[in-house]
Structure 1
Amino acid sequence: MTPRCTLALAGDTMLGRGVAEELPRTGPKPLFDSGVRAAVADADAFVLNLECCVSARGEPIPIPGKPFHFRAPPVAAEALADLGVRAVTLANNHALDYGPEALLDTLSHLADAGIETVGAGADLDQARAPVLLSAGGLRIGLLGVTDHPPEYAAGPGKPGVAFADLGQGVPDWLTEQIRDLREHTDIVLVTVHWGPNIVGEPVDHVRRAAPALLDAGATLIAGHSAHVFHGYTRHVLYDLGDFIDDYAIHPALRNDRSLLWLVALDENGPRRTEAVPLSLDYCRTRLTDPDTPDWDWTARRLIDVCARLGTDVEQRDGRVATDWTR
């Protein structure tokens, strides 16, 4: 029998500011309702983008024009482990918000909680290093990379993130790393923090980068950064949307309506992509009730943005999905 697995994927997960204030007061369980927890438990592994550092140290890093700095308390690592998170990418524009010592604390706290990390490290080699996961009998190679900001890029002996200026094309080091990882694993998952915030569809350089990553050997690409979910194809989830935060709500794009993603795969690639509608309340995330206008809005928007990419989507049992085996 062909080995198969189901990956749960979530986008921008911000556990700082208001969420950080909630954690010591309520503990981790109220952050995510039982429906979210049950959906995650259906998967063999859960991977998300952690868009903050986890530390009690550091000061906001001074970058001109940067308005937001996100830092979660050390207990945040336990909250992620309690939810069942296996790995996170730190390749984003907030991993270094409180400086190198806070980033190193983040790596330590997550490791202590049993959570793997990609996309950031104590130096360039560590930031670019993949993680190997076993799920459902399959060997999964996980990579994390971000296209902003260049100021957070790791270097020789310099803590930071795995940075690639995707606006100028996919760099050779990244394609070579994907090819090498593909030779030693069944599935290569590349998680990419790309493009600007609050846009409803992938921008041009994101659309150009995705095929290059697939050509190099990526099995599945999971994008994030926009804070708004985008459409998907069989091998590319252009933007996963937000997962938890305390952000202001955009009146049209509604970043408080999001998705948890469940992708069933075998060694030939995705067999089914399911998206579970989420409602992001202030510092809390819950499954959206299928009998509400919010669920209808989320499903309709996903169907629309997928149609523009040539992907047919069906609604069934409180989820929105595409079966790639038909």
Structure 2
Amino acid sequence: MTATLALAGDTMLGRGVADLLTVSSDPAAYLSDGVRAHLADADVVLVNLECCLSDRGSPWPTPGKLFHFRAPPQAADLLAELGVSCVTLANNHALDYGYDALLDTRAHLEHLGILTVGAGADRAQAREPIMLVVGGLRIAVIALTDHPADYAALPDRPGVAYADLPGGVPSWVTDAVARARAEADAVLVTPHWGPNMTSGPAPYIRTAAESMVAAGASLVAGHSAHVVHGVAPPVLYDLGDFLDDYAIDRELRNDLSLLFLVTLDETGPVRLRAVPLHLEYGRTVIARGQERAWLRRRFTDACAQFGTSAVWDDDVLTVDLRC
């Protein structure tokens, strides 16, 4: 029994991408043929949706908050046409336009058969894992974010699955992982952790990842930095970005990223294939030439810092995930 998960990083369909959606809803306008072919080869496609999908709400009134991301409801159709199976909503943009917009997001996605995890109508729903059955395997998915605290779901209020990771992994997270492991063949934990634009995980993130693995996580796949980080099996510290209109940092190159294809069997994660991506304005293509060479150096060096070997093979970077 095997399954392949396609894990993509921050996917922001608001602002400039939303403007493009008013012109075209053709999937080819947003992901190249090569990228879509890799998604089609996967059994499950999971992305971090870094916006709400709604035509309701007003900007969340956090003092000093610079960015509020909202995409039109038809963005859900684009995700469905791209083959997205599941999105994590546990991040710092899920409540950008308030409670109604968050609940709209879940409704629009679930109407199209796209599962959501990490945010909900109350704390219990926000923290509830989902179960994927694929390739004969039962894979539990748990999502959480360590920022911002004011987006946290409460017992009687919508929001995200918030965990104060700098203060230590809370027991609700480790308990959820342990319970899921007892019911599933594998457990994927996908945290939105740490600040933007960092070249590697902060010490508290490494400690948190260790705690999640010790609790029973088969795979940890994080995001938030907008920059791909290294791999320390079974931890993918940051998936980088996938589709957006973001400004480009010419040193960290947040416009260069990877699509992570993870093969699992009944023993857990077996192999990672990382596909080089180049993020244009509202469109993502396979990285070529100098961009691909830069990504190859960046990722192999980042993995080497954890004692992990990333090997170039048939136009993708591969990592053995068997611990």
What's the TM-score once normalised by structure 2's chain length?
A: 0.98
1:163 matched residue in structure 2: 162
1:128 matched residue in structure 2: 127
1:240 matched residue in structure 2: 239
Pairwise CA distance, 1:324: 4.1
Task: After TM superposition, list the pairs within 5 Å mapping 1:157-196 onto structure 2.
Answer: 157-196=156-195
Counterpart code for 1:16 = G
Pairwise CA distance, 1:267: 2.1
SS at match of 1:139: strand
2:12 matched residue in structure 1: 14
2:276 matched residue in structure 1: 277
Contact 1:59 1:98 in 2 (8 A): yes
Cα distance between partner residues in 1 of 2:115 and 2:172: 22
Is 1:103 matched with 2:102? yes
Q: List per-residue Cα deviations over 1:161-213 (Å, max 9, x = no partner).
A: 00000000000111011100000000100000000000000011101100000
Contact 1:53 1:98 in 2 (8 A): yes
2:211 matched residue in structure 1: 212
Is 1:300 matched with 2:297? yes
Pairwise CA distance, 1:325: 5.6
Cα distance between partner residues in 2 of 1:308 and 1:282: 31
Cα distance between partner residues in 2 of 1:148 and 1:77: 24
SS at match of 1:132: strand
Cα distance between partner residues in 2 of 1:95 and 1:251: 28
Counterpart code for 2:85 = R
Contact 2:12 2:69 in 1 (8 A): yes
Contact 2:233 2:322 in 1 (8 A): no
Pairwise CA distance, 1:157: 1.2
2:316 matched residue in structure 1: 319
Counterpart code for 1:320 = L
Pairwise CA distance, 1:124: 0.4
Cα distance between partner residues in 1 of 2:80 and 2:199: 31
2:66 matched residue in structure 1: 67
Is 1:26 matched with 2:30? no
Cα distance between partner residues in 1 of 2:127 and 2:321: 31
What's the TM-score once normalised by structure 1's chain length?
A: 0.97
Q: List per-residue Cα deviations over 1:231-265 (Å, max 9, x = no partner).
A: 01221000000001111100100000000000011
Contact 1:32 1:286 in 2 (8 A): yes
Cα distance between partner residues in 2 of 1:288 and 1:315: 14
| Unmatched 5+ stretches in structure 1 | none
Pairwise CA distance, 1:113: 1.3
Cα distance between partner residues in 1 of 2:152 and 2:173: 14
Cα distance between partner residues in 1 of 2:321 and 2:231: 12
2:51 matched residue in structure 1: 52
Q: List per-residue Cα deviations over 1:292-320 (Å, max 9, x = no partner).
A: 01100001100000000110111011100
Q: List per-residue Cα deviations over 1:20-44 (Å, max 9, x = no partner).
A: 0101211141111111110011111
Cα distance between partner residues in 2 of 1:122 and 1:32: 32
SS at match of 1:190: strand
| Unmatched 5+ stretches in structure 2 | none
1:263 matched residue in structure 2: 262
Cα distance between partner residues in 1 of 2:80 and 2:306: 35
Q: 1:200 to 1:275 in 2, by over 3 A?
A: same
Question: Between Structure 1 and Structure 2, how many residues are aligned?
Answer: 322
Identity %: 57
CA RMSD of aligned residues (A): 1.0
SS at match of 2:36: helix
Counterpart code for 1:21 = D
Task: After TM superposition, list the pairs within 5 Å mapping 1:244-255 onto structure 2.
Answer: 244-255=243-254
Cα distance between partner residues in 1 of 2:40 and 2:233: 23
Cα distance between partner residues in 2 of 1:324 and 1:12: 23
Cα distance between partner residues in 1 of 2:112 and 2:284: 22
Cα distance between partner residues in 2 of 1:188 and 1:41: 22
Counterpart code for 1:281 = E
Contact 1:235 1:269 in 2 (8 A): no
Cα distance between partner residues in 1 of 2:319 and 2:61: 44
